[in-house]
């Protein structure tokens, strides 16, 4: 819930704080700037016990930062015309899974918990992005197949659902908030695949009783820096080690399919409750996330630190418009939406100088993001015989980025589950064309049939980028 900013820097927890009804896996900045805010607004409007227990799946850092203010934190909206701050008190506790996995399972198995939400990023689902199937060879999945105390997000979902089934408790609704195509259906498939390996009767129960509504989430949320923490303290007079910064805009579309209908009054908080989120999801994944990734790789290589810096450069402002021209023919607009208007609104959001969303941050985990953000659009355009020049430049820029050195020969700190493999593949090649062949052979990212179609246009883009630099290459594909 929201509370006034306390003058003494400490959260004032009310005795009436709602009981826990939600467990969230992957408590990073995005969900605290997005889902927690929506849920706080829903309870402010209609009440209900929808307090949240957050779970950090890897590190205690978020827990330790939030503990000092009793799980409260400041959410700051940054815009050119001014900043707004609010104190969010919807968290009831934060658990660190590696420290006490049994406590996480116990929280998820509690009958009072009706929903488990997730923002674990694409790589957190331990799947093959090219096929959507669970990667049974992933070390975390190998562990979770035989151990009762899991380490992966799918493992926690399956083992907690098993506890609920054994206790005769209805399953929780699994509500993923990650940028994945048909994210609810994808996560349902991963959970069922893992459950089938562990206990086929459990898989049957989840298949029949479980609910996995798909969602579309949208709010630009940069990583919080030390400078942000200092700035928030100066503005608010509150010492907060875990504030979150975000843009004013937020959009959440959710398929209204919950176990027993149990959910907060999301509509009262401005959530779009729909029967099918596919159109919203595809529009956002391709038009926002696709261009965000393209600008991240090209902008980084051109020396731009943030997305706002990148689109302030006329060359890249023209490039993103050219990308939307390629993307929009593949997108079915949700009812009442004009794609050209949506693109204009996205550009204005990208250009917000108050939001310093680093190109390097967005460039992380590209091997997991490319299939749903860019490759699906490429496949559709290639099948229809449409223009793909700008999208191929985005793939070429990603290839340059994951090769590990920039245009000046300086090393790039590539953060990706396949970083070592991709860098080594690139290093073993004699020329840019061979790098394309090698990277397109990685079937975890590029299905073989699509790789064959991409070889010629991506090779042309890569050779241009290596020879002439990213700026000139972008200019060539911009009308």
pLDDT tens for each residue of 175-222 = 999 999 999 999 999 999 999 999 999 999 999 999 999 999 999 999
Side by side, the strands of the sheet bearing 91-96 are 91-96, 51-56, 20-25, 115-118, 173-176
Region(s) of the chain under CATH 3.40.50.720: 2-274
Domain spanning 2-274, CATH class: alpha beta
Per the CB < 8 A criterion, the answer to whether 141 and 126 are in contact is: yes
DSSP-assigned beta bridge partners for residue 88: 2, 73
Q: What is the pLDDT of residue 4?
A: 53
Question: Cα 445 from chain centroid?
Answer: 17
Mean predicted confidence (pLDDT) in 32-49: 97
Mean predicted confidence (pLDDT) in 36-51: 97
Using the predicted structure, report yes or no on whether residue 10 has a pLDDT greater than 60. no
Using the predicted structure, report yes or no on whether residue 425 has a pLDDT greater than 80. yes
Residue with tokens 């290596």: 466
Closest CA relative to residue 397, chosen from 327, 451, 471: 471
Three-state DSSP class for residue 379 = helix
**Helices 339-350 and 314-327: angle between axes, nearest 10 degrees:** 150
Using the predicted structure, report yes or no on whether residue 7 has a pLDDT greater than 50. no
Mean predicted confidence (pLDDT) in 243-251: 96
User: Is the Cα torsion angle 248, 269, 241, 292 positive or negative in sign?
Assistant: negative
Using the predicted structure, report yes or no on whether residue 261 has a pLDDT greater than 50. yes
Q: What is the pLDDT of residue 479?
A: 86
Whole-number Å distance between alpha carbons of 155 and 25:
12
Confidence of residue 8 (pLDDT cuts 50, 70, 90): very low
Per the CB < 8 A criterion, the answer to whether 109 and 121 are in contact is: no
Whole-number Å distance between alpha carbons of 134 and 125:
8
Mean predicted confidence (pLDDT) in 268-286: 97
Q: What is the pLDDT of residue 17?
A: 79
Domain spanning 279-476, CATH class: mainly alpha
Report pLDDT digits (tens) over 134-177.
999 999 999 999 999 999 999 999 999 999 999 999 999 999 99
Q: What is the pLDDT of residue 11?
A: 42
Region(s) of the chain under CATH 1.10.1040.10: 279-476
- Predicted structure pTM score: 0.92
Whole-number Å distance between alpha carbons of 85 and 236:
8
Whole-number Å distance between alpha carbons of 319 and 391:
10
Confidence of residue 418 (pLDDT cuts 50, 70, 90): very high
Q: What is the pLDDT of residue 6?
A: 53
Confidence of residue 1 (pLDDT cuts 50, 70, 90): very low
Whole-number Å distance between alpha carbons of 202 and 192:
9
Report pLDDT digits (tens) over 298-355.
999 999 999 999 999 999 999 999 999 999 999 999 999 999 999 999 999 999 999 9
The distance in angstroms from the start CA to the end CA of the chain is 48
Whole-number Å distance between alpha carbons of 152 and 114:
20
DSSP-assigned beta bridge partners for residue 173: 115
Mean predicted confidence (pLDDT) in 23-32: 97
Using the predicted structure, report yes or no on whether residue 20 has a pLDDT greater than 60. yes
Structure tokens at 377: 């659009």
Q: How many CB atoms lie within 10 A of CB 53?
A: 23
To the nearest whole number, what is the mean pLDDT of the chain?
Answer: 95
């Amino acid at each position: 819930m929201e509370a006034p900013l306390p003058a003494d820097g400490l959260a004032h927890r009310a005795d009436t704080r709602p009981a826990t009804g939600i467990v969230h896996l992957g408590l990073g900045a995005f969900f605290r700037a997005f889902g927690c805010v929506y849920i706080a607004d829903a309870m402010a409007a209609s009440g209900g016990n929808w307090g949240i227990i957050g779970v950090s799946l890897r590190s205690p850092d978020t827990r330790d930062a939030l503990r000092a203010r009793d799980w409260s934190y400041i959410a700051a909206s940054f815009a050119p015309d001014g900043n707004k701050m609010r104190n969010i008190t919807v968290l009831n506790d934060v658990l660190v899974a590696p420290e006490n996995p049994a406590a996480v399972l116990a929280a998820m198995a509690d009958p009072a918990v009706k929903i488990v939400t997730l923002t674990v990023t694409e790589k957190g689902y331990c799947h093959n992005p090219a096929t959507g199937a669970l990667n049974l060879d992933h070390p975390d999945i190998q562990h979770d197949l035989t151990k009762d105390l899991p380490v992966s997000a799918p493992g926690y979902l399956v083992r907690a659902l098993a506890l609920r089934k054994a206790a005769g408790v209805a399953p929780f609704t699994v509500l993923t908030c990650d940028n994945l195509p048909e994210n609810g259906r994808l996560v349902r498939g991963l959970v069922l695949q893992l459950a089938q390996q562990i206990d086929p009767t459990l898989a049957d129960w989840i298949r029949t009783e479980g609910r996995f509504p798909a969602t579309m989430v949208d709010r630009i949320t940069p990583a919080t820096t030390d400078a942000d923490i200092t700035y928030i303290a100066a503005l608010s007079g509150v010492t907060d080690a875990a504030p979150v910064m975000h843009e004013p805009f937020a959009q959440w579309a959710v398929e209204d399919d919950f176990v027993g209908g149990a959910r907060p009054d999301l509509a009262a908080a401005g959530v779009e409750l729909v029967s099918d989120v596919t159109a919203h999801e595809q529009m956002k994944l391709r038009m926002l996330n696709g261009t965000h990734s393209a600008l991240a790789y090209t902008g980084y290589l051109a020396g731009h630190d943030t997305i706002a810096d990148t689109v302030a450069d006329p060359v890249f402002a023209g490039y993103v418009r050219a990308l939307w021209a390629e993307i929009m023919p593949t997108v079915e607009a949700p009812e009442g939406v004009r794609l050209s208007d949506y693109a204009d609104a996205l550009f204005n959001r990208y250009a917000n100088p108050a939001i310093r969303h680093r190109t390097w941050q967005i460039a992380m985990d590209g091997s997991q993001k490319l299939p749903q953000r860019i490759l699906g659009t490429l496949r559709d355009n290639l099948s229809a015989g449409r223009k793909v020049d700008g999208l191929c430049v985005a793939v070429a820029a990603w290839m340059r980025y994951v090769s590990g050195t920039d245009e000046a020969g300086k090393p790039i700190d590539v953060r990706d589950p396949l970083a070592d493999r991709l860098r080594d593949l690139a290093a073993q090649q004699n020329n840019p064309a061979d790098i394309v062949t090698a990277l397109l052979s990685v079937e975890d990212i590029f299905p073989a049939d699509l790789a064959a179609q991409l070889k010629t246009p991506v090779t042309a883009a890569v050779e241009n980028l290596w020879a002439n630099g990213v700026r000139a290459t972008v200019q060539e594909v911009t009308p």
